[in-house]
Structure formats: structure tokens, C-alpha cells
């Protein structure tokens, strides 16, 4: 695995959508340390509103969110001109092929299973962004 300490996010704009506040804070701090410009939202509707003005180049989206499923969030982000071509990464505890296929059908580029290692998270943003 690549040495993620050498990774520089280069200011890549990342929208993090995670309803668990502690997890969101940890991931946001980590990504900020690696040079990413991170904004956090805790539910789908707020994430979609923010995406219009923030225009993230990548979005990390928990699939199990309050008020709006993460797949619906991905579909709506794909419909926005500001995020149509963004890298969309599903973060989930769902491990079946059915869940991965559902995520792909919703517009996700990657389906990552929690818990996520630093290498997996930063590697996905580095390789695919």
C-alpha cells in the first residue's frame, strides 16, 4: 500500500455526509490534515443544498442517513450541474453484492465498507479523484 503520509489533497473539495458526529469530525480532521478542503453535513437535504454552492469534486456519503437514503443523495448530486462529474464514494457497513450494485446504480463510483482505514480513504480520493 502506498505511503499516505506523502499524499497531498491539493485543496480538493470534499463533501462529507455522515450522520454520526464523532465519525464525521474524525474523518474531516484526517482529510484536512492531508490537504483536502472538507465540508461536513449530517443529512441528505443539507448536503444537497451545500453541494450547489460548495461544488465538491468528491463526496463521501454514508448510505444510512436520517431523512434521506445515501443512494438518493447520490442520485440528486448526479442531477446537479455542480456535482454531475464529482467522485461519489459510498461509505457503509453494508457488505453484500446487492448493496454494492444498488450504490453503483445510484451513481456512486466506489463502495467502501466501514470501518475505513486511512489508507483506504485517502487512497480512494488520491487514485480516483
Mean pLDDT per 10-residue section of the chain, whose length is 129 residues: 51 96 96 95 98 97 94 98 96 84 95 92 82
Confidence at residue 7, expressed as pLDDT on a 0 to 100 scale: 55
Confidence (pTM)? 0.91
Q: What's the mean per-residue pLDDT of the chain? A: 90
Please say whether the beta carbons of 54 and 25 come within 8 A: no
Q: pLDDT of 91-101, one tens digit each? A: 998 777 888 89
Backbone angles phi, psi at 17, to 5 degrees: -120, 105
Q: What percent of the chain has pLDDT over 90?
A: 80
The pLDDT assigned to 26 comes to 95
At residue 125, the pLDDT reads 93
The predicted structure's pLDDT at residue 129: 55
Own/partner long-range contacts of 4-11 (Cβ < 8 Å, ≥24 apart)? 4/34, 4/118, 4/119, 4/122, 4/123, 4/126, 7/34, 7/35, 7/122, 7/126, 8/34, 8/35, 9/34, 9/35, 9/36, 9/37, 9/125, 10/35, 11/35, 11/36, 11/37
Domain 10-59+78-117 architecture: 3-Layer(aba) Sandwich (3.40)
Amino acid at each position: 500500500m502506498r505511503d499516505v503520509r506523502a499524499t497531498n489533497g491539493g485543496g480538493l473539495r470534499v463533501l462529507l455526509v455522515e450522520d454520526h458526529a464523532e465519525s464525521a469530525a474524525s474523518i474531516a480532521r484526517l482529510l484536512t490534515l492531508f490537504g483536502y478542503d472538507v465540508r461536513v453535513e449530517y443529512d441528505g437535504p443539507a448536503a444537497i443544498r451545500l453541494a450547489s454552492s460548495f461544488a465538491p469534486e468528491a463526496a463521501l456519503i454514508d448510505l444510512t442517513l436520517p431523512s434521506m437514503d445515501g443512494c438518493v443523495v447520490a442520485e440528486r448530486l448526479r442531477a446537479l450541474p455542480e456535482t454531475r462529474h464529482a467522485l461519489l464514494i459510498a461509505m457503509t457497513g453494508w457488505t453484500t453484492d446487492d448493496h454494492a450494485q444498488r450504490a453503483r446504480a445510484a451513481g456512486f463510483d466506489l463502495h467502501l465498507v466501514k470501518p475505513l482505514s486511512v489508507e483506504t480513504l485517502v487512497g480512494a480520493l488520491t487514485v480516483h479523484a
